[in-house]
Amino acid sequence: MGHESTARLLLDNGTNVNLCTNDGSSPLWTACFDGHDSTAQLLLNKGADVNLCDNDGDGPLHMACQNGHESTAQHSLKNGAGVNSVNKDGVSPLYRACRNGHESTAKLLLDNGADVNLCDDDGISPLWTACFNGHDSTAQLLLKNGAGVNSVNKDGVSPLYTACRKGHENTAKLLLDNGADVNLCDDEGRIPLWTACFNGHDSTSQLLLNKGADVNLCDKDGDGPLHMACQNGHESTAQLLLKNGAGVNSVNKDEVSPLYRACCNGHENTAKILLDNGADVNLCTNDGISPLWTACFNGHERDMPILYRF
């Protein structure tokens, strides 16, 4: 609640300013978490340890930045808080600010020497987490301060990929305008277009195609963007891909076609789009399984009458 006068009374009567709770939270930690500036300043004046962390390694500065308490963060920095301190997961105050889109707090940290490319233990940078959450202005600030636009996490996932997975079109455009590689694959060989199509984000997919995304670039299993759109029944996405040159009869390593994927999951309208665009109704997998066979096996025979007409 930030009862400064009560805190002063207790401190004047010998209360330990750094006495922590069972989870390691100090009085300063909780004052910074809640943004109680004057109380935090009182504690600092009384000798509070500005870098005393909780059991997870989060210090007062982490909490102020997480919640966008800019002036509280400024008090902490002026009193010696480590701007690049990290918790047990390698998370920095800048990461916390960027994850929640606190642009002005992020700027304060950068102005005080925060490492713009300091990643957590999973290889996730402040830019990556800002893009994951669609915080465009925060991402722009980071890019202006030297953030690596093509930096990837431990799984090879780039900021552009994660923005496209979530359908953050404006964020994706910002990244592309700042040099993001439109065809940069993750460790599974998946490009940003692949994940945009998997999730049915049409406008983001169109943006990527306009910027030179390879419509037929497949992952390590040989699945391309069209496979994923058809698997999940994203009709308009599939149509967009076909208009941009996606191979309607392309197959993965198991000879599975986009039509097979659509029929396996009972997506009749998607199957119709494929057939109208020249899909081979009898194209079988390595095991000799046809689209009709998999539709019947999965109980979609009544949903897929179109197959009988080809």
Domains and CATH numbers, the chain: 1-82 (1.25.40.20), 90-210 (1.25.40.20), 215-310 (1.25.40.20)
Residue reference for tokens 């309208």: 269
Give the per-residue pLDDT at 303.
57
DSSP result, 67-104: TT-HHHHHHHHHTT--TT---TT---HHHHHHHTT-HH
Mean pLDDT to the nearest integer, 222-235: 98
d(CA 177, CA 53): 39
pLDDT at 299 over 70: yes
Render pLDDT for 174-208 as a digit per residue (tens, 0 to 9).
Answer: 999 999 999 999 999 999 999 999 999 999 999 99
**Cβ pair 69, 35 in contact under 8 A:** yes
What number is the average pLDDT over the span 197-224?
98
Whether 166 has a pLDDT exceeding 80, the answer reads: yes
Q: What is the pLDDT of residues 100-109, one digit of tens each?
A: 999 999 999 9
Instruction: Decide: residue 34, CB within 10 A, 0-12 exposed, 13-18 middle, 19+ buried.
Output: middle
pLDDT per residue as tens digits for the range 111-126: 999 999 999 999 999 9
Residue 168 has pLDDT above 90, yes or no: yes
pLDDT tens-digit series, residues 48-102: 999 999 999 999 999 999 999 999 999 999 999 999 999 999 999 999 999 999 9
Q: pTM of this prediction?
A: 0.93
Contact 225, 197 (CB under 8 A): yes
